[in-house]
Chains A and B, each alone.
Chain A
Amino acid sequence: MQESKPASLSILGKIDAVIGKIEVQILSWGIILMAVNTIANVLGRYVFHQSIYFSEELNEFLIVIVTFMGLGYATRKGIHIRMSAIYDALPLKARKILMIVIALTTAIMMAVLAWYAYEYVAKVARRGRVTPSLQVPLYLTYIWVVVGLALTSLQYFLTALRNLNLSEEEVYVSYVEVDSYEDPETTAALSRYAEQQSEESKS
């Protein structure tokens, strides 16, 4: 697959892979930090009679970064929740065209949001607002919204691009993933079931 792509696309692919790795780190450590932070706050309150004064603020920052930076990852993996009943019933070519339309429209919408998010964050930065407990400049905690939305937009553009070759057999729900839509929670539950099955057959 890699060879068949033109050189410009393969450079894009490499950049894309690096971004993907960063997103993975942000997602997993963002969630772990969130857990550690909340647990530490509870233990601090009951065991040491001392709450963490910035606990809530840190969680706010973490959930913002996980949500918006995770968006690119979710798009890359093609795990956004969508209703695919009608889509699934269409013939291959129509599915491909519909996927291009979906990806392009979504890409444009994400780009528009990224632009207004940028304006908003720039405004917040100009006003020099800081967070209440940690006194960190507020725009530093919001900049991830802009980055995340922009990367998501890029992902959808890449998806549209990937599907442009109408003679190909597969429909891509993202730049790398072939059409195999499931609701993410269902997919997670099923993959764990498959893991357990293979473990059981081993033992």
Chain B
Amino acid sequence: MTELMLIVMVVLLLAGFPMKMPLISAAVLGFLVYFPDMNLQILVQQMIGGVKPAALIAVPMFILAADIITRGHSANRLIDVVMSFMGHIKGGLAISVTSACALFGAVCGSTQATVVAIGGAMRPRMLKSGYNDSFAIGLIVNAADLAYLIPPSIGMIIYGVVSGTSISQLFIAGIVPGLLIVVLFSAYCMWYAIRHDIPVLPKADWGERFKSVRRAVWPMGFPLIIVGGIYGGVFSPTEAAAICVLYAVILEAVVFRSIRLRDLPDIALSTGAITSVVFILIAAGAAFSWTLSFAQVPQTIISALGLSEAGPLTVLLAINIAFFVGCMFVDSIVVILILVPIFAPMIKATGLDPVLVGVLITLQVAIGAATPPFGCNLFTAIAVFRRPFVDVVRGVPPFLIILLVVTGLLVVFPQIALFLPELAYR
């Protein structure tokens, strides 16, 4: 029976059905088979219940804040500040792209928006400076992944709600792995620049640096609100997200005047549409996960794969591979909604830290965004840079290797992710 559910899901996915259909169909099918005497109302009830958790309100709020910010020029201010500090070192331009992606990711959390905002501004400069185009695009689509890992992160919120893990701890735990990726990417960029003898930019003096910092002070408030507010126990993640919206409105409508207040309903409409599309998946996922767990499907799959006696390391490996492969093909939210309930009993049984699992899953989700054949960053890059798929993908492998190395490091040294939340909460 489990096979039938899986087959229906895969067929509907591949045939190009809207993603809610595979989830709902599998749920309804499983329900009718396992619980023929029960009323389908239960699934509807699960769907409504699925979207109601207060923590999920953070998702539309962070999307709204990002929608507002990306209409302004915050990205350029952040680029200027990192350029003034790093432009003059070897590979400085490429290193600036990495850091700017990390900073902008800390402001807005959408990898596609990061590709557009940072990549759109930086790729021409990199080309002019002598970088190869496939290197530049490879760097941009992969560095934009940092937006997933560095809070705010929509994937972490959804994982947190589905698995019952503290979203605050997940957010904090994503920071150090994110910075580690920045460091490793930067090292690779430097090596690349030395090997290809790419000229350095003139060094900015302290006057210019001070000026650029002052211009970027306002956008830097977002990470302060999110990390400081949550770390300091002032806000829940949902409240931090709402305060980010308030801050974004003040910033873009009052300080920078890049939007007018009467633009807000339009911006909110675009946020609302994305919210609805994402939340119907969450609703469908809740129904799916209910059927799954009541029919004991995870246990069946686990024993079929011979994983029932597996130790924590094997389980972590299985999770990483499953999410890596899943995210290569399917939208990350759907992968989280399908796979987390399947792995949940195993995670519990092996005593793995759900925060660590969440960070690893988020990392795989992030990698999937820039990994062929399907990745939302790749498609964004194709559209923005007007390059064919092959050209966009060519520069990906070195960065992919670095990201997989970071995955390995996290599995072997979980403390990279866990020491900050442990410092703060335990």
Contact = CB atoms under 8 A, between A and B. Distances in A.
Interface of A: 24, 27-32, 34-35, 38-39, 41-42, 46, 56, 59-60, 63-64, 66-71, 73-74, 77, 79-87, 98, 101-102, 105-106, 109, 112-113, 116-117, 119-120, 123, 142, 145, 182-186, 188-190, 192-193, 195-196
Contact of B15 (A24, A41, A87, A182): A87
A188 B28 CA distance: 32
Contacts of B113: 185, 188-189, 192
B242 A42 contact: yes
B22 to A, nearest CB: 9
B306 to A, nearest CB: 29
B218 interface: no
A142 B48 CA distance: 8
A68 B16 CA distance: 22
10 contacts: A32-B268, A39-B246, A42-B235, A59-B54, A70-B277, A112-B40, A116-B43, A145-B44, A182-B383, A186-B383
Contacts of A86: 14-16
Contacts, number: 213
Nearest to B283: A67
6 shortest interchain CB distances as A-B pairs: A70-B276, A27-B272, A87-B16, A38-B242, A80-B18, A67-B279
Contact of A109 (B14, B25, B39, B235): B25
B361 interface: no
Interface residues of B, number: 75
A90 B145 CA distance: 31
B16 A31 contact: no
Contacts of B265: 28-29, 32
A109 B24 contact: yes
Contact residues of B: prevailing secondary structure: helix
Among A73, A82, A145, the most chain B Cβ lie within 10 Å of the Cβ of: A82
A193 B44 CA distance: 39
**Dominant SS among interface residues on chain A:** helix
B186 interface: no
A41 B113 CA distance: 29
B269 A192 contact: no
Contacts of A30: 272
A87 B41 CA distance: 33
Given A66-B60, A83-B13, A38 B275 contact: no
Contacts of B270: 188
B16 to A, nearest CB: 3
A145 B24 CA distance: 15
B20 A63 contact: no
A46 to B, nearest CB: 8
Contacts of B14: 83, 86
Interface in B260-277: 264-266, 268-277
B112 A102 contact: no
Contacts of A41: 239
Contacts of A116: 39-41, 43-44
Contacts of A59: 54, 57
Given A59-B54, A82-B18, A186 B112 contact: yes
Given A31-B272, A116-B41, A83 B245 contact: no
Given A74-B273, A109-B28, A193-B384, A31 B60 contact: yes
A119 B40 CA distance: 10
B379 A183 contact: yes
B396 to A, nearest CB: 17
Contacts of B281: 81
